[in-house]
Amino acid sequence: MPNRFALSVGRAVAHAREGAATTHQRAVDPLNRGTLVLGGGSEQQHLYRGGFQDVRILHDLYYNANLRWLRVGDDDPIPVPALAPADAATHYSNALLDSGSSFLVFEAGTWQALLASLGRRNPSFPGLVDKAQRALASGAGLPEADVDPRHWPDLHLGLEAPDGRDTTLRIPASHYWPGNALRTGQRLCLLMGQLPHFPRQSILGLPLFAGRYAVFDRSAGGGLGVVRFAARSEPGP
């Protein structure tokens, strides 16, 4: 079997359809369906559309990548610092491609720059992020009426490609502020700052994978492999 697998992901967190009270009712919701392909990739053409965008992998235990910059909407890119030299031997790079995380977790300086950019767009935005994070600590979100993703900027990640250039991946605001998230009528904010006692490293979780078909291919790229992203052909959020 080829040393690769692929994921087709619709959302970062489960969609809570009104009236869907049981696990089975939620499972049959098209927005909660995904696909895992073992040993497969680009040949599964029914799972994606368009071409692939490739990200170089620097270490394949946790799918480490090099995040070069973050752009908020049409603002200037925010440079993302490299991993501290003292952490390089054990943490390998400044970003992880982590399909096991429901969040986008940004290194502390990048996080502060992101909040500042949101605040310049609308002074209420950083407060809503903070309010959502405090609500999440008790397992809740914000009412959908409080946040309209159409007014929030998309995020753009600049990641190192296998040829050394930049691969730019867009994350729509609806993917980091999903609606009907875990509970009907609430939104969750899936943006976070650096975890306590964590190295200067970002965790790029399911909001990046949502709406995409991602191929984790350790046999490609002439090194530790690549992760390839294409648009998902199945229903999204």
Residue pair 55/67 in contact by the 8 Å Cβ criterion? no
Among 76, 65, 69, residue whose Cα is nearest residue 205: 65
Residue pair 114/121 in contact by the 8 Å Cβ criterion? no
Burial category of 231 from C-beta neighbours within 10 Å (exposed 0-12, middle 13-18, buried 19 and up): middle
| pTM, rounded to two decimals | 0.92
Q: Which residues of the chain are modeled with pLDDT < 70?
A: 19-27, 221-222, 234-237
Q: For residue 137, which amino acid is it?
A: A
Residue pair 56/158 in contact by the 8 Å Cβ criterion? no
Distance CA 155, CA 171 (A): 5
Instruction: Give the position of tokens 């967190």.
Output: 13
Distance CA 229, CA 169 (A): 9
Helix 125-136 × helix 108-121 angle, to 10°: 130
Distance CA 76, CA 150 (A): 20
pLDDT of residue 31: 82
Q: For 4-232, CATH number?
A: 2.40.70.10
Distance CA 38, CA 202 (A): 27
Q: For residue 228, which amino acid is it?
A: R
